[in-house]
Amino acid sequence: MKTARTLALLLLVSTVSLAQTTRPTSTTVIMNGDTTVTTTVVVDGDTTISTETTKTRSSGFTVNLSRDKASRAARRFSKDFGVYIGLNNYSGSVTPAFEVRPGASRFVALSWRRNIRLNGSRYTKLRLGIGPEIAWNNFAFEGNRVLINNTNLSSSARPGLNVVEDSRDLKKSKLTVCQFNVPVVLNIAFRAGLTLGVGAYAGIRLDSYTKVKPDGGDAVRSRGPYALNNVRWGLISEFGWQNDVHLFVRYEPSNLFRDGQGPDLNVWAVGFRL
């Protein structure tokens, strides 16, 4: 009697454990002559845990046609790489000395983005994109102007830096700022294929330099902080079609230069994300 009770208890525990660990399974069998194709789908709620399709002949030979173990994380996350190419400029207290050549002042960024799928509807899909990027702002000055630090200038000059006329004829004179950013963008994809994205980013300055190239001479790079803000942030908007080129607009409410050491300038950029 004691042995029978023990066996009954073990059987009950095994049944409960199996009921807790077994997920609902749906099996479809298709027979065609001596060939049987079996598809087994394991689900957990509205999530497909795994699918497996096998092909078996009457001789007993079995071929595994496909095996797709999809997890919830794999279906929710995706990643992409993007290249931003466009033009940049700045607004605010722009003095004539700081005016730049619009067509030669370019913006470039390399973006690695991880997309997290959020709840959507039948007609829209929501994704939150986040990831690092490296961005370059290039500001090409008009004429023969060059940006310099004011350590050797008179006290009447702006402290920190200024733009002055060079005595040589210059082919190129620009300021380049390299920055590491982390954008966070909420993307809305419509059923027709249209996508919209809005978000913000913040970043730190990695490098900055001026590049001056006289006519008939070699280009000279001079690295330095140039009174630039080490931390900048901005807003971003994107518009386009899924898996296609996107138009982007960026604007930075933060100042390009540190307070009191440069003009109050807000950087903006427009272009395409490839």
DSSP 33: T
Identify the pLDDT of residue 85.
98
Residues 60 and 130 in one domain: no
Q: Does 97 map to a domain?
A: yes
Buried-state track 61-82, b at ≥16 Cβ within 10 A, e below 16: eeeeeeeeeeeeeeeeeeeeeb
pLDDT at 40: 63
| Cα 219 off chain centre by | 33
Same domain, 61 and 123: no
- Residue with tokens 């733009």, as numbered in its chain: 163
- 161 and 207 in a single domain? The answer is yes
57 and 89 inside one domain = no
Residue 258 pLDDT level (bands cut at 50, 70, 90)? very high
Q: Are residues 233 and 194 in the same domain?
A: yes
Whole domain around residue 64: which residue ranges?
23-70
Structure tokens at 137: 């702002």
Q: d(Cα 79, Cα 130) in Å, to the nearest integer?
A: 9
Q: Are residues 206 and 165 both part of a single domain?
A: yes
Q: What is the pLDDT of residues 115-172, one digit of tens each?
A: 999 877 778 889 999 999 999 999 999 989 999 876 544 444 455 678 888 888 899 9
| 150 inside domain | yes
Q: Is residue 176 part of a domain?
A: yes
Q: Identify whether 218 is part of a domain.
A: yes
Which of 45-59, 61-75, 117-131, 154-168 has the largest mean confidence? 117-131
Query: Are 154 and 255 members of one domain?
Result: yes
Q: Where are the beta strands (DSSP E) in the chain?
A: 25-32, 35-44, 47-57, 62-68, 77-92, 106-118, 124-130, 133-140, 145-149, 161-165, 170-190, 194-214, 220-223, 231-241, 246-251, 265-273
Same domain, 269 and 190: yes
In a domain, 207, yes or no: yes
| Boundary (domain end) residue, out of 13, 46, 70 | 70
CB 127 within 8 A of CB 118: yes
Q: What is the largest CA-CA distance in the chain?
A: 110
95 and 119 fall within a common domain: yes
For tokens 């092909």, name the residue. 55
Residues 117, 27 share a domain: no
- Give the end of a domain, one of 70, 85, 104: 70
Q: How many domains does the chain have?
A: 2
Q: Do 45 and 120 fall within a single domain?
A: no
Tokens matching residue 65: 């046609």
Question: If you search the block for the tokens 């027709």, which residue do you land on?
Answer: 192
| Residue 17 domain flag | no
Q: How many CB atoms lie within 10 A of CB 43?
A: 14
Give the span between the Cα atoms of 122 and 64, in whole angstroms.
34
Query: Last residue of a domain, which of 70, 86, 101?
Result: 70
Is the residue at 159 inside a domain? yes
Q: Is the pTM of this model over 0.95?
A: no
Tell me, what CATH number does 159's domain have?
2.40.160.20
Lowest-pLDDT range, 11-25, 82-96, 193-207, 243-257? 11-25
Q: How far apart are CA 67 and CA 40, in angstroms?
A: 10
